[in-house]
Structure 1
Amino acid sequence: MHDLDLTTLRLFVAVCETRNIARAAEQHHIVPSAISKRIAQLEGVVGNRLVERKRRGVVPTGAGEILLEHARAMLAGQDRVARDMAAYGQGIKGQVRVLASVSSIAEYLPDDIADFLQLPAHRDIRVDIEEALSRDLVRGVREGLAPVGVCWDAADLEGLQTRPYRNDQLAIVAHPAHPLAKQKRCRFEQTLDFDHVGLPASTAVHTMLGRAAAIAGRPLSYRAVVTTFDASLRCVRAQLGIAVVPQEVAQPMAQAYGLRVLPLTDRWARRGFAICFQDERQLSPAARLLVAHLASQAQARRGRKKA
């Protein structure tokens, strides 16, 4: 196979995302026939038909879907190279990209990274954080899309090196008028009598709760599914259901909304997070410094709690 042309891949992605060659051409300021010609050449290079023209527009074939995923990753890599070189030209001598789960970003990670960057020895280092689902995060670290990841330690981390990071406690957030609100804490099985407000099925929390409900032999009823913890608490405030949220995230927001926070007593509700990377020896100096800082911050806080 000949080398893939990044400009052609960018046009291919635009066609797949807009489902329209003319619209993609308009976005990239070229004529539609030029895009059609490039896609035909791309099909010749990969040896497969990549798009189909249907009544409602252009859709990728099975082979096109596979190439689309790789093309997005390649273009994202090119964009990162451009940003990194621009940052270096502005005087930044080290740059670390971190893929992180939504819980770690909502809880501790931004503050720990800010502490790292405030140290005088790190003034020439830049850290970029990108939110990702745990499964995508782990795949991204394995494939070299980012040198460092921070995620739930129950994720499939096989083949990666890890260091312990923080812990959190899952809790039920309920409206004061809810039957569970009178309790100080509860078991997850007790919540299965009521409607829940949940996160999308692709998230680690959704998977964990589904597994726990299956073990209990009870259905888990979602009345609303939202994408952020803040949105879930707004739904709780509107009495659409109860939500399972890390206590560290829920406490300050629940106070503002006048909601009750009940820690779950189930063993699995106490979660640990991990810092993951391919090989510590292959990390850049800046990445090694960041990993060491995050691990030491977490260890220091655990020591203070024991004291």
Structure 2
Amino acid sequence: MQTTALRYFLAVARDGTIAAASARLNVAPSAISRQIANLEAELACLLFERRPRGMVLSQAGELLARHAHQVLASAEQVVTEIRELEGLWRGLVRVACTEAFAIDLVPEAMAAFHTRHPGIRFDLSVLPPGQVTHRVVQGDADLGLTFSLEPSTETAVAYRASLDMVALCAPDHPLAGRGLIGLSDVAAYPVALLPRDTTLRTILDAACAAEAIAIEPALTTNTLSSILPFLRRTRGLTLVSSVALQGQVARGEFRALPIRSHRSLARGIEVQTMRDRRLPRAVQAFLGALLAALPPVQG
């Protein structure tokens, strides 16, 4: 099987139609159709179920998709290793992470790494936690940094830690000088939060229920970047992981306040890689830099 045919096949599997795959790959639809027909003829089976709303992988297609991801990853690995014979002069590092890490931590690590190795390029995708893991599993991201309630069973885990949430507020907030606050203190002010289908809300809502405290958000949004202006212009609070927005807190743009609660406000964060894949040299080097920017794992 040719890698081109496998790449076209995976694009259709991901996008659901030949037209969408054609637009993504900038390849004529007829060329994609021909390659898929060749694969089906070679394997003597249908790889897709053709439905009115698109194409869905058949059972045989699911098997081929798993194989194709490994084949393309291996082919990419060979090319990368050849290019890396001269050291960290060139390379691409693909990172997927949740927004909390994309505002500050990951870009800062990338900037510091690029200063030392200007030939290394980065591709950063900002996604919900589950989609981060999916990108890594599918081989579309070299590294994933995400929140998780349970350890990942789909990826290799290079780092896992359980970190407490903190309350984030403007420097002139009435609570800004407090060393420790409670959930009742949070509830006394306007609160901006992520939606209920996030790990943060799952843990926060359970902790509030344990103390019979009701927090009705003044702002609910699926992007942390939309919450920050709200905090700057109001007496509002939000909750974030203690590792998020460290740079902005260090520069005095926000205050991070530890929270005392009857139930743990900790949640897991993971750095994930694809199982059974030897990482390219540039990715290995950046992984080390990223781990150094995260809190040490407590033994």
Q: Which moved more, 1:108-117 or 1:188-197?
A: 188-197
Paired residues for 1:36-185 under 5 Å:
48=49, 50-51=51-52, 93-119=90-116, 122-152=117-147, 154-158=149-153, 159-163=155-159, 170-173=166-169, 183-185=178-180
Q: Deviations over 1:46-102 (max 9, x none)?
A: 675633xxxxxxx679x69xx9xxx9xx9xxx9xx99xx9xx99x974222111121
User: Which residue pairs with 2:273 in the alignment?
Assistant: 277
Q: Which moved more, 1:139-148 or 1:226-235?
A: 226-235
Aligned length: 267
Q: Deviations over 1:224-268 (max 9, x none)?
A: 2123334213224554853223565288479988x7653323484
Structure 1 residue runs of 5 or longer lacking an equivalent are: 19-23, 52-58
Q: Which amino acid aligns with 2:111?
A: A
Residues 172 and 264 in structure 1, CA contact (< 8 A), matched pair in contact too: no
Q: Deviations over 1:180-205 (max 9, x none)?
A: 66754312254345552112344332
User: Which residue pairs with 2:40 in the alignment?
Assistant: none
Task: Tell me the SS of whatever aligns to 1:110.
Answer: helix
Q: Distance in 2 between matches of 1:207 and 1:185?
A: 22
Offset at residue 144 of structure 1 (A): 1.9
Structure 2 residue runs of 5 or longer lacking an equivalent are: 38-45
Gap change, CA 1:293 and 1:173, over 3 Å in 2:
closer
Structure 1 or 2: more helix by fraction: 1
Q: Which amino acid aligns with 1:278?
A: M
Gap change, CA 1:47 and 1:260, over 3 Å in 2:
closer
User: Which residue pairs with 2:286 in the alignment?
Assistant: 290
TM-score, with normalisation over the residues of structure 2?
0.60
User: Which residue pairs with 1:243 in the alignment?
Assistant: 238
Indicate the percent of aligned positions where both proteins have the same amino acid.
19
Q: Distance in 2 between matches of 1:17 and 1:203?
A: 33
Q: Distance in 2 between matches of 1:235 and 1:277?
A: 35
Task: Tell me the SS of whatever aligns to 1:282.
Answer: coil
Q: CA RMSD in A?
A: 5.3
Q: Deviations over 1:148-199 (max 9, x none)?
A: 1122364542252322589675214279677x66754312254345552112
Task: Tell me the SS of whatever aligns to 1:200.
Answer: coil
Q: Distance in 2 between matches of 1:129 and 1:297?
A: 17
Task: Tell me the SS of whatever aligns to 1:213.
Answer: helix
Gap change, CA 1:4 and 1:153, over 3 Å in 2:
closer
Q: Distance in 2 between matches of 1:251 and 1:130?
A: 20
Task: Tell me the SS of whatever aligns to 2:140.
Answer: coil
Task: Tell me the SS of whatever aligns to 1:264.
Answer: strand
Whose RCO is larger (CA < 8 A, sep 6+)?
A: 2
TM-score, with normalisation over the residues of structure 1?
0.59
Which residue, out of 193, 198, 202, partners 1:203? 198
Q: Which amino acid aligns with 2:216?
A: S
Task: Tell me the SS of whatever aligns to 2:222.
Answer: coil
Residues 165 and 275 in structure 1, CA contact (< 8 A), matched pair in contact too: no
Q: Distance in 2 between matches of 1:243 and 1:17?
A: 42
Residues 165 and 295 in structure 1, CA contact (< 8 A), matched pair in contact too: no
Q: Distance in 1 between matches of 2:134 and 2:211?
A: 31
Offset at residue 277 of structure 1 (A): 1.3
